[in-house]
Chains A and B, each alone.
Chain A
Amino acid sequence: MKKRIALALAVVLLVASMFAFAGCGKKPAANSDIEYVKEKGTLVVGITDFAPMDYQDKDGNWIGFDADMAAAFASSLGVEVQFTEIDWDNKVLELNNKSIDCVWNGMTLTDEVTAAMDCSKAYCRNAQSVVVNAKVADKYTTEEACKELNFAVEKGSAGKEQAEASGFKFTEVDTQAKALLEVKSGNCDAAIIDKLMAGAMIGEGTDYADLVTTVDLNAEEYGVGFRKGSDLAKEINTFFDSVKTTGVDVEIATTYGVQAALIK
């Protein structure tokens, strides 16, 4: 009995390991990412739930400025668009793993981002803003005054880079949402988050009604990220130029109230 099971187990393990190594011999299908995407017929866009760039309507469809633009880009390539939610920390892993084809989610073009991905040119403006409790907001209207605060910032984010550049004392947390939770709970005095995002996340009608933005610490720009060496990064710039001439970008931006931030 045991011997037969032992034998069966040995066979299963052998087959499993052969299956695992079978992948080794496979070369990437095509050198051109455009060809690769066209061949499989879908452009997989890695996103997070991030109004007003990518978020779901009541029926669960992905909408937003980035989502609509991504759909337009996919149809310009003649492929279907597919949105998939990712863990933001793992975006480069996801790209290299080919589980997504691009990151299109209000991504700030930092040095770290452009080093790890091939990015489009900037299409939208943003800023990193200081968020504090409304009660003390009057005291912290300059960058200098904010130096005495304890900050919470998202790990690996543009906000964290800004905190370092401004010489703030800070703690790193999971997400920008958690950074707000730190301020709300009083564990930290202030957070640094994207200005476009802050508009939707704090103030009237949220659990963060008592939080406000005070200082804009910088000016920064959003871009779309692709795998290193991907020819889609060039293709998207052509796409951006073409929508500028037709005015489609302004039209979509107006729908989601971000037209002021759009780079003409």
Chain B
Amino acid sequence: MQDFMRTFLRRPAGSVGLLLLALVCLLAVLAPLLYPASPWEMAGIPFSRPGENGMLLGSDTLGRDVASGIAHGARVSILIGLASTLTALCIGVPLGCIAGYAGGAVDSAIVRLTEIFQTIPSFVLAILLVAILTPSIGTIILTIGLVSWPQLARLTRAQVKTVSQREFVQAARCQGQSTPSIVLRHVLPNAVSPIIVAGSLTVAAAILIEAALSFMGLGDPNFMSWGYMVGAGRTVIRQAWWMSVFPGIAILLTVVAINLVGEALNDTLNPRISRA
């Protein structure tokens, strides 16, 4: 484990990514201390430029503090990004694994199921699900997870299919290892790199879907989120760029941080790179 951390931190991508992610998390944790007032509260004159009226990043169309919104929104965006990706991974990876390793009728059945999900435009499905389930942070996470798993399942299936043809998997079968042990210890670790990368991209996509849902008015009304801020500021972007740009930068940094961590994780898990 110590070995693992050392290799991870020695990669520039790993340390930079982790640092950025830590900063965003710190912001999320410290939000109530930095901005004790509710981010929904009108704190000053609407359309204040950054730095005016004591507001670091300016105010939005209703005079709410953008900086306060970003701090409070960090919690929701990170929570939604990570939790919904985790949900998608929990559905997609096992299904993909089973389909790819079992093959035959099981494979066809699972592939058909993913195709059903993929033929419905995912955002329309997300709107529908949230509308039915009533918007709350829990249902939003579940919904984003439900619309994001098919790509992960397909990717996992394709990876597992190629890896399980490799000779070392056949060798493991000949060694008498049980099927779950082969899949979990030999196939999955060798199939995982693109899944990690795709997973880190899913985090980004999830934050954006949440943004879009909030923009449609289907976000959780109790929580400020970056997506909501971008959505709300979008209409006046020509007069007041700061309203959407700062939350946009926050989304960008978080996504980059997660991608970097994913990349470093991938390198660390690959002994050919980490031991070089």
Say whether A associates with B.
Answer: no
